[in-house]
Amino acid sequence: MLFGMTIPLTGTQHQIEAGDYSATVTELGAGLRGLLFGDVALVTGFDADELPPHGAGQLLTPWPNRVDGGSYSFDGQDYQLALSEPGRGNAIHGLTRFAPWVRISHDLDEVTLRSLPHGQQGYPFAVQVDVTYRLDAASGLHVTVTATNKGSRPAPWGTGTHPYLTAGTPTIDDCALELPADRWLPVDDRLIPTGPAQDVTGTPFDLRTARKLAGTQLDHAFTGLRREADGLAWVRLSSSELTTAMWLDAANPWLQVFTSDPLEPERRRAAVAVEPMTCPPNAFVSGEDLIVLRPKESVTVRWGVRAE
């Protein structure tokens, strides 16, 4: 018989806070389990003893989104990933979201976790990933992801994240979404791209001016992001209660937006997933915006969320 405390499915819980903001980051996958502004949730939360539902808050490496059939070629070699989305026959959302991450440092307002550089099935590359979650009383959540190739060979790499944004309402139907994207990516029924990104003008995908989400269904990638002078692109989900604003730096030229329509009734259209990505779906196959890390080379990606 084993004695002692039980361990939640998401492992050790790392709490941080600053001003009115508080957040919880999990040992499992270095995921964002919750983000509050006062007592208002800015992202969909879940229980510590529950696996992240539908990818909620998960950090996605070494690729975001999907790899068609889990099969790709790189540097003259063919590789086969496990089909982690069996219903569609794809490899989805990388390899580290259900692995434990090591805590490197933890202060009142900041925590840094690390994924150790071990190769895995279909990905024989040694890329170390560090993520820092920091809260600022004035500007909210800041997330910094740094990948470093510790191995002896070049490595394909990409990242994304999967928060479900909320704005203090039971559903997103009464919320307006502002998405500064000039192009959307057409996909097939397996959510694999069928061609290049298309102009949003005159389509239901044109959200460059804030629009109510009632009647709009999305599970699409967007690019051509309009940026401010500092290089940041902003997405805003607004209700009569508040605006939840996400920013992403130039290392994230893509967004996946998902309005939660096929989820179970209690989660259907309760939040909208807005997912910063360094590359589009199927980048391991297409090579589009795929990052290639040479030995000892690093890349850093940043994004964040605040209440307005």
Q: What is the DSSP code (8-state) at residue 55?
A: G
Q: What percent of the chain has pLDDT over 70?
A: 99
Average pLDDT over residues 136-144: 98
Q: Model's pTM, two decimal places?
A: 0.96
**Nearest partner of 272 among 156, 150, 179, judged by Cα:** 179
pLDDT at 105: 98
Average pLDDT over residues 135-156: 98
Dihedral of CA 24/26/27/29: which sign? negative
pLDDT in tens, 6-64: 999 999 999 999 999 999 999 999 999 999 999 999 999 999 999 999 999 999 999 99
Displacement of CA 112 from its chain's centroid (Å): 17
pLDDT at 1: 44
- Return all residues near 79 (Cβ < 8 A) that are at least 6 apart: 71, 72, 73, 122, 123, 124
pLDDT in tens, 223-255: 999 999 999 999 999 999 899 999 999 999 999
> Helix or strand or coil: residue 285?
helix
Confidence of residue 258 (pLDDT cuts 50, 70, 90): very high
> Which CATH number applies to 13-307: 3.40.50.300, 2.70.98.10, 3.40.50.720, 2.40.30.10?
2.70.98.10
